Amino acid sequence: MKLIVPIAALLPVAVRVFAQEISQRPTLTPSPYSPRVPFPNPPPRDNDRVCVVMTHGDGITDDSLNILFAFHQCNDGGHVLFARGETYTIGTAMDWSFLNHIDIDIQGRIQFSNDTAYWQANSYPFVFQNVTSFFKLGGEDVWIYGGGTLDGNGQIWYDTYAAEIYTLRPVLVGIDGLKDSVLSDLVLRNSPQYYHFVANASNVVFNNIDIAGGSTSKNTAKNTDGWDTYRSEDVTIMNSVINNGDDCVSFKPNSTNILVQSLSCTGSHGISVGSLGQYPLAFDIVSSIMVSNISMCHASDGARIKVWPGVASTMSPDLQGGGGSGAVFNITYEDMTINDVDYAIEITQCYGQKNLTLCQQYPSPLTIEDIHFRRFKGTTSSKYEPLVAAFACSSDKVCGDIYAEDIDVRSPKGKKEAYCLNQEVVNLQGVQCTANYKGFN
């Protein structure tokens, strides 16, 4: 810790100035697993280079220029401080992909403006689905921590989306091309859509992230995934608490070597591979994923693999697909405790299609193999009673090598049945396979 001198004199809009202490860098303790690539461990930054971000502090006036100014001034070896007790307003989309060798210490609160028209016209578009974000974070050797809050002002978006499903709701933390970086000790609230979209990332760690938010109106907070990874490798997500309404973590196309461990997820759609195979000309790969030590409460699923069928299908007007190929392999889910979850495990190659016969007639060209589930315990919800899981391959030619062991999960009535389609039943230990189909989530 060190007292620092603000650079207020240089700032275009200096309002208030405090000398304040900067946070210690967080310690990263991976457990139960260590990642394949060691966590980033850069030398400390120059403690004489601290840029305190100035704020208008009225909760309305845009502080974006002050933020960009501080990032540029202290990039390449310094610290940026969002001061404790201050609120910063962001009303402008910012490109933060120039960041390099920098520690960003967020102790205060950063709130995104509620100008839905502005954000829809100006937020950063990603080349995946219709994802956009408030800012685009990239660069190398970027550490963001400090215990502060990013608030996405989600309510206005949940209400706007309910009236118009093509509303482009920004992701709270949009990442494109981030390397050797760490986000830790952050509080994320009320994201309009996903909390994190992690694209083109390698060796990035998310540690001790506290996610929560929900709607206070009758309109639900939809698609509020905790993390979606895309075209990324060597990403670790750990030691975090997530209260949301969609996937806790989701592995989108070309996610490999991802470690997800020691999370507590509540209210989610589980930890999901996919959905994949949505686009006919694409080849999606998800491989070498380890998910370990997860508590999953009040959720639709625990462990999930969702793949579109080989035939065009419609989930909802803004979610359609099918026919895409690719491969899912070497996926492990272990030590999952479930409580009030509809399916502890769900594998489907019939995502977005209600007609199971059609899925078997047109099997997905996206293969699933070398999948392991072990040491699950707990109780499901009554939704699919007596089923606790569903293992559904559209054909054994495109999907196999699926193993379950040590599955000690019961339905509320004490059953442990699983819907099995095209499975090597002997490999699924701890559940009783039946042909009793009760649907997919």
Stretch touching ligand NAG by CB under 6 A, among 49-57, 207-215, 277-285, 405-413: 277-285
Nearest CB to ligand NAG, comparing residues 91 and 386:
91
Helices (H), 187-286: none
Report the alpha-carbon angle 223-229-234, nearest 5. 155
The 10 Å Cβ neighbour count of residue 304 is 28
Say which of 79, 101, 196, 269 is annotated catalytic.
269
The Cα–Cα gap between 397 and 315 comes to 25
Q: Which of residues 392-431 bind ligand NAG (CB under 6 A)?
A: none
Q: Is 425 helix (H, G, I), strand (E, B) or coil?
A: helix
Determine whether 101 is an active site residue. Answer: no
CB of 179 to ligand NAG, least distance (A): 12
Single-letter residue type at 278 = Q
The Cα–Cα gap between 232 and 41 comes to 20
Helices (H), 18-149: 64-74, 116-122
Residue from the set 39, 128, 403, 437 that interacts with ligand NAG by CB under 6 A: 128
Show the site string, 196-215: x = touches ligand NAG by CB under 6 A, - = not.
---xx---------------
Q: What is the DSSP letter of 220?
A: -
Stretch touching ligand NAG by CB under 6 A, among 215-223, 285-293, 380-388, 393-401: 285-293
Stretch touching ligand NAG by CB under 6 A, among 3-11, 40-48, 61-69, 127-135: 127-135
The 10 Å Cβ neighbour count of residue 87 is 17
Stretch touching ligand NAG by CB under 6 A, among 46-54, 102-110, 124-132, 268-276: 124-132
- What kind and span of H or E run contains 35? none
Q: What is the DSSP letter of 3?
A: B
CB of 79 to ligand NAG, least distance (A): 28
CB of 197 to ligand NAG, least distance (A): 8
285 part of the interface to ligand NAG, by CB under 6 A = yes
Residue from the set 176, 233, 301, 334 that interacts with ligand NAG by CB under 6 A: 176
65 part of the interface to ligand NAG, by CB under 6 A = no
The Cα–Cα gap between 199 and 196 comes to 10
158 part of the interface to ligand NAG, by CB under 6 A = no
CB of 105 to ligand NAG, least distance (A): 25
CB of 317 to ligand NAG, least distance (A): 8
Q: Which of residues 288-317 bind ligand NAG (CB under 6 A)?
A: 288, 290, 293, 295
3-state secondary structure 147-178: CCEEECCHHHHHHHHHHCCCCCCEECEEEEEE
Contact 207, 230 (CB under 8 A): no
386 prior amide bond cis, ω within 30: yes
Nearest CB to ligand NAG, comparing residues 13 and 358:
358
CB of 369 to ligand NAG, least distance (A): 12
Show the site string, 354-373: x = touches ligand NAG by CB under 6 A, - = not.
-x-xx--x------------
From the list 321, 277, 63, 227, the residue with the least C-alpha distance to 71 is: 63
Q: What is the DSSP letter of 126?
A: P
Q: What is the DSSP letter of 273?
A: E
What residues make contact with ligand NAG under the rule CB under 6 A? 31-32, 59-60, 114, 126-130, 156, 166, 176, 199-200, 231, 253-254, 262, 264, 282-283, 285, 288, 290, 293, 295, 318, 330, 332, 355, 357-358, 361
Catalytic site positions: 269
